[in-house]
Chains A and B, each alone.
Chain A
């Protein structure tokens, strides 16, 4: 009797293991074809020179792609750009997103409208955002220059996207417009974890707005800050669409990003091996930041 039940238990356990593997087989197959195979492929390809067409023309060149990549002034440009982009989009989005979340807590008239309005750009295609901002930046009848002329600031009028000094900032502004609503939502969720009593205690205390913001709200949102910052970093490493649509990396390479260099190398210059070296570095960075985020999430769940 005892033997039989332990036997059927073993059978049940086997069935459970088998079901587990069956349930995850489709996702593993798809990721296998599109991601894991691709990963091995680009790591290998990054050691070759190849125009991306005939397999016979592949030529082993060791680490030369990486050496070229580190020596190329365009890589330095792309790195500086992506860092500037990261720092400014993340900080402005955090600040604005938190302000929005706090203001909407007041539940004044129109709160739902404002919340929806701030979130709308998140739901739009980057293509729509890019065209929207091209309409603002257009040098002759664009809204921005028209406005500047209207208020008598003609000196500030310029070809915003065509000027290497302003193009990157135009891209940064468009990205902030697109994604601040998402950060707002994270902060709205984060604020619900701070108990109302704490706010009230601060009010009885007579803590002013800025003081309670600095001493209660900001530190109480630790996990939200982490999420917002890491998502911002991961998103920055990937940034391609908005740059490609607004400037294609120009004018004169002033707004190159790692992803635009990669796309140009592979799709325009037939440098598949060199592009693969850029891929490998981007993948390494993305996975690294994801690992950091997963560690934080785990810590939070355990705490």
Chain B
């Protein structure tokens, strides 16, 4: 019974992610085909990678006929943040999360799925995470397929506005805890200021790398100024 509820809870929680992914991956599909990839390749990339920044850069490497080493390094740097997230997430898992479940669910650690799982009050169960991953992957893959196959059909204004979906969701995740806890507010503002500085003053830093630097610095500051005692932490 509980298994069933957890699964359904995951599916529901994943819907906003799926909608946001749909709009973003729609754009990815358009780009990938423009760069010369087939519709099938674009869809397979989305299905096997499930990551926005890494894929966007990956198809650029493919279009430029970069080496496989370059491809590996680009993915490593852009997606390194997932390693931090995976460690953080590993601290809030239900005992049901055996090695087999971890091996499977690791596939679905994305910024958004991580955000949902790590801010969950209850420990994360495999069923809950699989529920989110299933709808999110569906949205991501379907969006890529439609974008790659029929990018020109939707009005441009609508596609542009959909670009805000994911960020709107991020805001919905961080604002309530930041309004409640001064320490989180400080970390959020610090990260935002650092990231803005990186964006305008250090434009040579890649997006993925800038996020790693800013998030690490802001979290370190939070940990130094407001160390979290037992219960509240992760």
A binds B: no
Report which A residues bind B (CB closer than 8 A). Answer: none
